[in-house]
Amino acid sequence: MALVPCQVLRAAILLSYCSILCNYKAIDMPAHQTYGGSWKFLTFIDLVIQAVFFGICVLTDLSSLLMRGNDSQEQERQLKKLISLRDWMMAVLAFPVGVFVVTMFWSIYIYDRELVYPKLLDNFIPAWLNHGMHTTVLPFVLIEMRTTHHQYPSRSCGLAAVCTFAVGYILWVCWIHHITGVWVYPLLEHLSPGVKIIFFAAVTVIINVFYLVGEVLNNYIWDTQK
């Protein structure tokens, strides 16, 4: 028997994301007042994705608990829809985007933090909040994958959805630059137009690779291939 029920873990993770989001939004940073606000940062978008995903997980747990001993077919259909939404979000958004944010952030941070997280931000964002946004996302999503089997969509549909998200965010970043003349991430200021295209293409490929990693890992953990 698990030391901590997975339902309790999900509720605790959801509360932690709510706390991180509230503390982050409470910070009075100049970047929050410019065009796009917090929504121009993939980190913030990922935090919202994770919070919504774990909110759906908790709602699924509560619905399953309330349905015990209830033979209503309509409620069972609604629960199946909720489970399908939960699994889709895990496969297409929570895992690939979460892993992408953690790995890309720390890879660039180690190389040159000024390209992604200038030292000036230390005056606004405490270390614990930085780790809450860029570190704990990975163990949280791995805990969820280990405790619950998620049904992945067909590979073509899953990859198409991930590509849509990646391209949509890239276009959003380009639109912000078009409006403001400033790139969301300092790294992009140092790249030529041709290199930017290669960089954006590489980013799209990487996030698709993380989708495939999630699918393989899910199958390995739950032995669905057998």
Q: Which two tokens stand for residue 125?
A: 């964002």
pTM of the shown model: 0.92
List Cβ neighbours of 111 (8 Å cut-off, separation of 6 or more): none
Q: Which two tokens stand for residue 179?
A: 């409006």
Task: Print pLDDT tens along the chain (226 aa).
Answer: 344 588 899 999 999 999 999 999 888 888 788 898 999 999 999 999 999 999 999 999 988 887 776 767 777 888 899 999 999 999 999 999 999 999 999 999 999 988 888 898 888 889 999 999 999 999 999 999 999 999 999 999 999 999 999 999 999 999 999 999 999 998 899 899 999 999 999 999 999 999 999 999 999 998 754 4
Q: Rounded to an integer, what distance in angstroms lies between the CA atom of residue 4 and that of residue 12?
A: 11
Alpha helical stretches, state H, the chain = 6-26, 42-66, 73-89, 95-112, 127-134, 137-147, 155-180, 186-189, 193-222
Q: How high is the pLDDT of residue 222?
A: 87
In Å, how far are 9, 92, 139, 163 from 79, measured between CA atoms? 20, 20, 27, 28
Q: Rounded to an integer, what distance in angstroms lies between the CA atom of residue 27 and that of residue 186?
A: 20
DSSP state of 182: -
Q: Rounded to an integer, what distance in angstroms lies between the CA atom of residue 14 and that of residue 54?
A: 5
Q: Which two tokens stand for residue 15?
A: 């509360």
In Å, how far are 29, 91, 115, 121 from 95, measured between CA atoms? 28, 6, 24, 27
What angle, rounded to 10 degrees, do the helices at 73-89 and 42-66 form? 160
Q: Rounded to an integer, what distance in angstroms lies between the CA atom of residue 90 and that of residue 49?
A: 10
List Cβ neighbours of 201 (8 Å cut-off, separation of 6 or more): none
Q: Of how many residues is the chain composed?
A: 226
The domain locations on the chain are 6-224
Q: Which two tokens stand for residue 20?
A: 């991180």
DSSP state of 31: G
